[in-house]
Amino acid sequence: MLKAIFRTHDNFTRLFVGLKPIPDLHPENKSKRNILSELINMKKHIFQKPDTLILILILAVATFLRFYRIREIPFTHDEFSALFRTGYDHFRELINQGVKIDGHPAGVQVFLNYWVKLTGMTEWLVKLPFLFAGVLSTYLIYNIGCRWFNKTVGLIAAAFLATLQYPVMYSQIARPYGSGLFLTLAMVLFWTNLMLTPEKNFRKNAILFVVTASLCTYNHHFSLLFAFIVGITGIFLIPSAYRKRYLGLGLAIILLYLPHTGIFLYQLGMGGVEGWLAKPGYDFPIKYLGYIFHFSFYTTFLAAALFLFGIFQSGRNQIKKGFFLISLLWFLIPLVIGFTYSMLVSSVLQYSVLLFSFPYLFFVLFGHIREQKPFVNQVLVVSILTVNILTLTLERDHYRIFYNSPYERIVVDFKSIAEKPYLKIIVSHPKITQYYINKHQVSQSFHWEKSVESEEELIGFLKAHSSKYDTLFLGSLSSVHPVAIPVIMDYYPEMVSENNYMGGSSYIFARSNKNSKTFVDQLDFSPSFPTFWSGIDPNGITRDTTEKENYLYRMNEQMEWGPTYIRNIRELIDSQNDYIDISVDFMPGDSLSQVILVASLEENGQSIFWNGSDASKYSNNLLQDSCSIRAHISVKLSDIKLSGNDVMLKAFIWNKGKRTFMADNFTISLRKGNPILYGHIEKIPYSRD
C-alpha cells in the first residue's frame, strides 16, 4: 500500500504539502550577536509567544505528575528483578548472569549495572533518568506533531502524553519502557528531518537517527520492532536522490546490532513468559483503548469530542493523508504482531510493550484538527490537562495505588504489630522483603512462606501454633495459595482487618465466636433439598448417630459421583477479583485418597476452568470436638477469563478412588477479592471513599 502511495517524489510532495520545518526563532544573522544579547532576546521572544507558554505549561504539568512525591515512588517487582542482577564488575559476567537470563535486550540492564554503582539502591535516584526521559518525551511528541501536522495537534498530543497514567506510570519505573518511549520519539524526530528536509543537515540527522535507532534495538524487543517499522517506512518516503544513503543508514544500524545477536538468539530459545502472562483475549484492543483513556467516561468523552471537533472544522482535503496513514500503521502493526505471536507462539503482549507505538494514536484521532488560534489552543490544552489530572488522581487513584508497594506495605503493616503476641506469617518475595526489613529496621520475628508451602504444611503449622496465639497476622502477595485463607479461618474464624494493595494484602484474624465467612449456600443433607443442588441419592442420606438432628451423606465404592452444586457465577459475585470458597466435612471410613472435591466453570457447555483437591491433603485438618475433617477448594476468579454472562459454577464430590466415607456441610462461600489487585492496568471496580 505504501509503495503505491509513495511511488514517486511527486506523490510525496502532494501528500505532504504544507508541512514545513519549524522555523528558527531567530533566523537573522545570529553570529553577529553576543551570547548575553541572544539570551535576552530569546527570553523576550519565548514569553511573547502564547503557544510557547502553553507548551511550557504542559511540560511543567508533565514534570509535576512524574516527580510528585518522588521519594515515595517504590520499586516494582520488575525493577527489583533487574536490580538484583546488578553489581557485576566484569562485563562478561554481567552479560552471562545479568542479561542473558532475562527476556530483554542488554541496553537498560547494562546501564543500570553502572548507574546503581553511583546511586546505590535509593529509589528516586535509580529512577531519575527515566523520569526525565518521560518529560522529554512530551516535548518530542509536540515537535513531531508540529512537523507532521500543526502546532495545535502537537499541543494536544503533548497534553495527553503529559497527563495519561499510561506514560506517567512507565516514566516512574526504571525499566526499558520510559526510556524506549523517549528513544523511539527521538528516532522519529530525526527520521522526520530526513524525510521532509534531507537537504538540510543530512549528516547530522543521519548520525542521530542511526544512534537513536540503534539504542532502540538495545532497549527492548518491541522498540527494536518499532525501529524496524520506521526504517522500512522511510524507504518509500525519502526522496529518491537520498534513498541509497538512507539504505546505508539501515545497514549501519544492522551492523551496530550484530554484537547483540548471540544474546537475542539465546533469549529466543528461552521461550516466552506464559508462566505468568496469559494469552490475550479477542477483546484486548478494546481493553487497551479503555486503559489508555483511564477507563473513564470523562477522558473518553473528551477525546471523542476533540475528534468530532476536528471533523466538523476540517474538510476531507485538509487531512494530511500520508502522515495519518503512517500514524495508523505505526499504532496498529506492533499490536497486530504482538497479538498474533502471542496466540500462535508464546504470550508476549501486554500494555507495556505497546508504549512505543501508542503516541501515534493521538495523530490518528486528532491529526485532522487544523491549526487554531492561541486562545483556542489554550482552552483545548487546559481542558485536557484538567480532565486527565482529575481522572488520574481520582478515578485511577494513581498516587495511592501505585505508590503503595505490596512488598513494602506488608512489612510496614507487620512492623505495626511486631511487638504484639500474634502468630505472624509473611508470604512474599524473600529478597524484596529483606530489602524493606532493612529499610524500615524491622526485627524478623515472623514465619516465612517456606514453612507453609502446601496445604498439609499450613495445617500442621496452624495446629502446632494456634493454641498458643489468639490472633494471627498474614501478609501475602496475591500469589498465595487460594485456600490459605479458608484454612486459616478454620482456626481463626474472624477476619478483624484487611488492607489491600496492588498485588497483595495484609490481614489480621482472631479466634472468636464470630465467623466472617459469607455463606452463599450449604447442603446439610436434610430431607428437603435446596435449589441448585443435584446428584443426591436419597438412599445415601442417614442420621448422625451423635446428633439426631443432623444428617449425613454416605458414599461407598459403588458411588463415583456425589452431590453437585450448579449455579450461574454472575448470581454470586460482585467483582472479577472475588473468590468462591468450597468446603466439605468428611468422616472417613478408610483413606480419603482420591476423594476429589472438584470446582469447575463452564460457558456454553465448554469448560473454561477445572480444578480438583484431594481430600487426603486435609486428613490432619480435624474440626474441634469432632471426628470430621474439613477439605477445601477455592476458585480464584481473577486468574480466569469470565467473558460472558452464562458462566456456570459446578462443584461436586468425585469418588475417584471408590472409597467409603460420610460427608456433611457441603458449603459454598463468597470471599470478597482485592478490588485494586490489578489496579494499575484494570478498571478499579469501586468508588473511592
- Reduced 3-state DSSP string for 248-280: HHHHHHHHHHHHHHHHHHHHHHCCCCCCCCCCC
Reference 213, options 198, 225, 202; nearest CA is 225
Give pLDDT, residue 450. 59
Tens of pLDDT along 498-515? 999 999 999 999 999 898
Contact assessment for residue 268 and residue 221, using Cβ atoms and an 8 Å cutoff: no
CA-CA distance, 463 to 335, in Å (whole number)?
Answer: 52
Beta strands 533-534 and 561-568, pairing class? antiparallel
Give pLDDT, residue 443. 82
Contact assessment for residue 679 and residue 502, using Cβ atoms and an 8 Å cutoff: yes
* Mean pLDDT of the region 467-485: 94
For the record, the C-alpha cell of 98 comes out as 545479568
Reference 156, options 369, 312, 429, 412; nearest CA is 369
For the record, the C-alpha cell of 129 comes out as 533518568
Worst-scoring range by mean pLDDT, 2-11, 28-37, 54-63, 475-484?
Answer: 2-11
Contact assessment for residue 131 and residue 67, using Cβ atoms and an 8 Å cutoff: yes
CA-CA distance, 677 to 516, in Å (whole number)?
Answer: 21
For 218, other C-beta atoms within 10 Å of its C-beta total: 23
The contacts of residue 135 (CB under 8 Å, 6+ apart) are: 59, 62, 63, 66, 171
CA-CA distance, 501 to 74, in Å (whole number)?
Answer: 13
Helical spans, DSSP H, in 418-507: 430-440, 455-465, 484-491
pTM attached to this predicted model: 0.89
- Top-tier CATH class for 518-671: mainly beta
pLDDT band at 317 (very low <50, low <70, confident <90, very high): low
Question: At which residue does the C-alpha cell 475433617 appear?
Answer: 629
CA-CA distance, 374 to 22, in Å (whole number)?
Answer: 17
Reference 303, options 317, 314, 289; nearest CA is 289
- Maximum mean pLDDT: which of 133-142, 441-450, 678-687: 133-142
DSSP state of 645: S
Question: Is the model's pLDDT at 687 over the cut of 90?
Answer: no
The contacts of residue 481 (CB under 8 Å, 6+ apart) are: 455, 458
Tens of pLDDT along 60-106? 999 999 999 999 999 999 999 999 999 999 999 999 999 999 889 99
pLDDT band at 7 (very low <50, low <70, confident <90, very high): very low
For residue 452, give Cα distances in angstroms to 414, 443, 493, 614: 18, 20, 19, 18
For 619, other C-beta atoms within 10 Å of its C-beta total: 17
Sign of the Cα torsion 114, 117, 118, 124 reads positive
Give pLDDT, residue 688. 43
Give helix then strand counts, H and E, for the chain: 25, 16
Tens of pLDDT along 427-460? 999 999 999 999 999 887 777 665 667 889 999 9
CA-CA distance, 49 to 44, in Å (whole number)?
Answer: 9
For residue 428, give Cα distances in angstroms to 134, 168, 349, 404, 672: 31, 27, 26, 15, 21
Tens of pLDDT along 38-63? 545 545 554 557 889 999 999 999 99
Contact assessment for residue 677 and residue 584, using Cβ atoms and an 8 Å cutoff: no
Q: Residue length, the chain?
A: 689
- Give the mean pLDDT of the chain: 90
For 424, other C-beta atoms within 10 Å of its C-beta total: 18
Greater confidence (27 vs 444) lies with 444
DSSP state of 452: G
For the record, the C-alpha cell of 166 comes out as 499510561
Give pLDDT, residue 2. 43
Contact assessment for residue 178 and residue 112, using Cβ atoms and an 8 Å cutoff: no
CA-CA distance, 403 to 415, in Å (whole number)?
Answer: 19
Give pLDDT, residue 321. 86
- Torsions phi, psi for 355 (to 5 deg): -60, -30
Question: Is the model's pLDDT at 21 over the cut of 50?
Answer: no
CA-CA distance, 528 to 534, in Å (whole number)?
Answer: 12
For 260, other C-beta atoms within 10 Å of its C-beta total: 18
CA-CA distance, 303 to 361, in Å (whole number)?
Answer: 11
Biggest alpha carbon distance in the chain?
Answer: 108
